[in-house]
Amino acid sequence: MRTKVQGERVQGIGRRRLLQGLGISAMAAGGGLPSRGHAMAGKAPAYFTHGVASGDPLQHRVILWTRVVPRRAEALLTVFWQVARDAAFSQVVAAGESKAQITQDYTVKVDASGLQPGQAYFYRFSALGVVSDTGRTKTLPIGGVEEFRIGVASCSNYPQGYFNAYRHMADSDLDLVLHLGDYLYEYPDGEYADDYALNSLGRHVLPAGEMLALEDYRTRYGVYRSDPDLQAVHQRHPFICVWDDHEIADDTWHSGAENHSEDEGDFAQRLQAARQAYHEWMPIRTPALTDQGPIYRHFAIGDLADLLMLDTRIVGRDQQLTYAADMLYHPVTDAQQAPVPDGAAFIAQRLQDPSRDLLGSQQEQWLARAVADSVARGANWQVLGQQVLMANVGIPKIDTGAFDDPKMPPEERQYIALMQELGDQGMPLNLDAWDGYPACRDRVMQMLADAGANTITLAGDTHNAWAFNLSDTRQRPVGVEIGTPAITSPGMESYVPGTPDELAAAMQAASPGLVSVDVSDRGWSEVTLTPQATRSRWHFVSGVLDRRFSVRSSDALTCLHGARRFS
């Protein structure tokens, strides 16, 4: 496990984000299973190796996905598909054929059209007389909608444990699943892994090394999609997805990543490989090309809401600032005096630099038009699905004595003191989130307030559960933000000392807009939209190291239409 302090590698991933101020998304790693063709047992002429999935539903069409491998090597395999109103397929409403080929890793994606709005359907594939599992999907509605229920997920790290939260989502009554990124992690087998999950549960990943090339990314997707709980949630609900950084490499930006070095080759080639594998393995509507284009896009949920999916990771993101490399310091006259960080100068000269962007001008203009059109058509809610927290998140005040370990490297101890000093100056915790791009956030917040939008922002990345009230720089209420907990990746409780209640109190003291936070459990978010209100609650699983689990659900948080605040 690795982290960097002042450009040098040191041990101890647990304190990585706190010490560097780089954010709180994980340093991911590997977990395991056989190769992606592991399901090829017996003597069938073809094998559906990874179940079925659907995604990007519209009013009259939906993407259907599967992977089918011929027993004998074939360049092309004809695959037939059907969509029906019933599980017995006595009322088939759409059918066709496609091709599975090795150049696309034998994945198959079809855009099934001719469907009716707001309708549940069953679908299946067949090849060489072999029939796939049956999936269930649903189109988006038109007109008046009384209720629409969304499950929100992120940060599913295979070697941290079982995907129990996915199983609970699969068994829940949802209209769709929104996956906000870190669907998988790029690290080598054994890194950023729970020892018990790795050694007792066998949650190893392939390839054994870090994902760099196209075949690496394909193989890792195959491992994850072999998981029965992930297969189940894909089989039972349509997905709408965006990537975050670990689908490529930790702390990705448009031209590089923190977890990419020169000895790992050309980053542009790595990015292209990652995007191609994402296009092949995810049920997302993209051009039928080897490289996927921009993924910010729009979904209309009848007259009720517009779901606007953003890419805050690749298309327009400039390189992240770090306190290690970019902090400015007050001049000192005494050679014995320790440098004192100048937070005001850092904010003015670095953080508020108007040239630094998160969305990019094209996406930001698209978002402004989409919000204006949504408000003009009378949609009740403008829902932003994106990767990282938009709210202001401060540095919690912690007991530094909890880090008083004689074995702690001096540079880590120095960083503890630095982060506490920065917290006293009101600096943000996570420079990888919107807090690291305040000029862009200010423009977007002002746009949302000026448009009169009823904004619901959904975010992943942090592994913990958050609920914020959002305001613009003029303190006008903009809307609310819901941060979803991780499916398995550990949260702040794994590297910040104190009880969950103590840490939650410290986070609320440092973050004035924070309404509620859970820093201890894994799970998912349920967001229910009605014309009158948006209700959100978290579902936390009791653990991820045993397939037997219970679920604890939080009290609902309600935002009334027009209030732009949790009530």
- pLDDT tens-place string over residues 265-281: 999 999 999 999 999 99
Could you read off the pLDDT of 233-250 as tens digits, one per residue? 999 999 999 999 999 999
Q: How far apart are CA 294 and CA 509, in angstroms?
A: 38
| Furthest-apart CA atoms within the chain: distance in Å | 85
Alpha-carbon torsion angle 501, 505, 507, 511, nearest 10: 150
CB atoms within 10 A of CB 306: 23
Q: Is 115 inside a domain boundary? A: no
User: With contact defined as beta carbons under 8 Å apart, do 479 and 502 qualify?
Assistant: no
User: With contact defined as beta carbons under 8 Å apart, do 544 and 157 qualify?
Assistant: no
The least confident of 24-28, 228-232, 465-469 is 24-28
CA 199 to chain centre: 27
What is 233-302 written as a DSSP string? HHHHS-EEE---STTT-TTEETTEETT--GGG--HHHHHHHHHHHHHHHS-----SSSS-----EEEEET
Q: Is 81 inside a domain boundary? A: no
Q: Is 137 inside a domain boundary? A: no
Q: Is 50 inside a domain boundary? A: no
Give the model's pLDDT for residue 496: 78
Nearest to 471 by CA among 453, 440, 449, 452: 449
pTM for this structure?
A: 0.91
Q: Is 39 inside a domain boundary? A: no
Q: How far apart are CA 118 and CA 122, in angstroms?
A: 13
Residue 377: give the domain boundaries. 3-30+143-560
pLDDT at 297 over 90: yes
**Across 520-535, average pLDDT:** 98
What token pair was written down for 39?
Answer: 């399901």
Please tell me the total count of domains within the chain: 1
pLDDT at 40 over 70: no
Q: Is 567 inside a domain boundary? A: no
User: With contact defined as beta carbons under 8 Å apart, do 185 and 30 qualify?
Assistant: yes
Residue 512 gets which letter from DSSP? Answer: T
Q: Average pLDDT of the chain?
A: 90
- Residue 243 maps to which CATH number? 3.60.21.70
Give the model's pLDDT for residue 400: 67
Residue 218 CA: distances (Å) to CA of 25, 29, 546 = 23, 16, 27
Q: Is 330 inside a domain boundary? A: yes
CB atoms within 10 A of CB 565: 17
Q: Is 9 inside a domain boundary? A: yes
Residue 428 gets which letter from DSSP? Answer: B
